[in-house]
Structure 1
Amino acid sequence: MNIILVPGFWLDASSWEEVTPPLTAAGHKVYPLTLPGLESADAPRAGIGLRTHIDAVVAKIDSFDAPVVLVGHSGGGAIIHGAVDARPDRVARAIYVDSGPLGEGGVINDELPADGDELPLPPWELFEDADLTDLTDDLRAMFRARAIPQPRGVAQDRQQLKDERRYEVPATIIACEFPTSMLTEMIAGGHPFVAELGRIRDVDYVDLPTGHWPQFTKPAELGAAILAAVDGTPGS
């Protein structure tokens, strides 16, 4: 199976490097992406928005003749959901890592402090304690050293969706900060935060307790969870 890995904010393709070994060892082909504006600290970010990143993922999907699995971490979850909407017949499964599908009109995060056209990685004090679970001082220093400013438009643009066949694409939620039981309770209660997730017909829930960056805090466990989800997908 061709697996496309979409990083969250401030990260490039290399952020997946400790996650991919079990996937490649199982014979899958893995394609971690560096999205537009994340190529380097000096890359231009003006004019890059959510649709720019969705289109980059769609272009990668279109480069294959067979269906793919999409994996999106954090803000990457909104991006892969937009790609699922654009190519519902080409995605075998969408895997959301501590994230979920962003519905029509939603934004990823319009509260992050901006500096012109970009969003630098904020001070740790701006994150919730649950975000930072298992993120040691060494891991924080590593993350900050490699962090690339996020294009502001990606965080603030509104999601635009058009094809309800997206709800037919199987999904897997790998929940880290909060247990999956909380998500299912929110869906049952009709909470608007999970309204789009609640419309997907086939969803598997996996608990991977750690902070918001499991690719750094529990990479082997994350790789195993992604592998299990992929291997449970028809055609894999």
Structure 2
Amino acid sequence: MSAAPAVTTRAAGMLLIHGAWQGSWAWDAWLPEMTARGWTCNAVDLPGNGANPERDAGVEITLQTYVDALSEAINAFDGPVVVVAHSGAGVPASQLAETLPERVACLIYVAGMMLPAGMGYAELVDASAADVPNAAGIAPYLQWRDNGTTTAVPAAAALDIFLHDCPHEAAGQAAAKLTPQRESGRALVTTLSAARFGRIPRIYVEALRDRSVLLPLQRKMQALVPGALVRSIDCGHVPQLARPAELATLVCDALAEIGIGIGGDGDTPASRPPR
């Protein structure tokens, strides 16, 4: 039996960031898996997602709005954390790492938007449309509201594009929880540097059956922002709901491979729940 990889960085916990039209609830099926493996996790609600109307009243939703909220969340941990970003959350997660590189032990993109500085996801889709069928993903199904400033996802489209391989009852519940998204919170472009963002270890979990961020687009982003440890999971756009235990093991094993462990006692992060 080979020796376990040495831990070079101890993480105080995980910060979980949901994608567009979602909330902290998007991680509910995954949290018990990570807790069983010893991780302390905080799943946040991004500003403007409907979870805290009083907090968000009159607030302009920008990339900086997200980074400010995530900075507050990350500072609640006593030490660097692993930042896990699903889908569109990849953009604010990257900018968070640029802003607070000393507080981010690792970035994990789950079917996420790992884009280079200055590029928006719509630009990537437009550039790929000729050779990637259905590259637009959910976009053709969106309902535009409030004079084009907000979008919403119809439940039927969510079930077909996001949740097609998730457990039936859980998929229905997730589709019903989706909330309108301000477009200013989706059309985001980062400003990144090699000295700050570029020094953070990254893991990319590609979803092989994704109908939203299609696999060819995931792989184009990996090529545009090279250096991530890439792992694959055979499911659609929401691995944390479709295959939570498999995703948890995959993530923990990948962290162990790059030498990131749980803060506190012990030699390595667990890859399996205690028996």
Quick one: distance in 2 between partners of 1:126 and 1:28?
A: 30
Quick one: distance in 1 between partners of 2:114 and 2:82?
A: 15
Q: Do the aligned residues in 2 keep the contact of 1:45 with 1:118 (CA within 8 Å)?
A: no
In the TM superposition, what are the counterparts of 1:149-188 in structure 2 within 5 Å?
Answer: 149-162=180-193, 164-177=195-208
Quick one: distance in 1 between partners of 2:66 and 2:83?
A: 14
Any idea what SS the aligned residue of 2:45 has?
Answer: coil
Match of 2:248 in 1: 223
Match of 2:130 in 1: none
Shift, 1:55, TM fit: 2.1
Match of 1:234 in 2: 260
Range with greater deviation from structure 2 (136-145 or 49-58): 136-145
Q: Do the aligned residues in 2 keep the contact of 1:20 with 1:223 (CA within 8 Å)?
A: no
Match of 2:144 in 1: 114
How many corresponding residue pairs?
225
Q: 1:58 aligns with which of 57, 61, 71?
A: 71
Q: Do the aligned residues in 2 keep the contact of 1:133 with 1:210 (CA within 8 Å)?
A: no
Quick one: distance in 2 between partners of 1:219 and 1:21?
A: 9
Q: Do the aligned residues in 1 keep the contact of 2:21 with 2:180 (CA within 8 Å)?
A: yes
Q: 1:144 aligns with which of 154, 175, 182?
A: 175
- In structure 1, give the amino acid aligned to 2:60: G
Q: Does 1:211 align with 2:242?
A: no
Match of 1:197 in 2: 225
Shift, 1:105, TM fit: 1.8
Gaps of 5+ in 1: none
Shift, 1:154, TM fit: 1.2
- In structure 1, give the amino acid aligned to 2:248: G
Q: Are the structure 2 counterparts of residues 146 and 88 from structure 1 closer, same or farther at C-alpha, using a change threshold of 3 Å?
A: same
Scaled by the length of structure 1, the TM-score of the pair is 0.80
Quick one: distance in 2 between partners of 1:122 and 1:70?
A: 29
Range with greater deviation from structure 2 (152-161 or 204-213): 152-161
In the TM superposition, what are the counterparts of 1:125-144 in structure 2 within 5 Å?
Answer: 125=157, 131-135=162-166, 138-144=169-175
Any idea what SS the aligned residue of 1:89 has?
Answer: helix
Any idea what SS the aligned residue of 2:107 has?
Answer: strand
Quick one: distance in 2 between partners of 1:138 and 1:35?
A: 25
Q: Do the aligned residues in 2 keep the contact of 1:92 with 1:169 (CA within 8 Å)?
A: yes
CA RMSD of aligned residues (A): 3.0
Higher Rg of the two aligned structures:
2
Quick one: distance in 1 between partners of 2:52 and 2:159?
A: 22
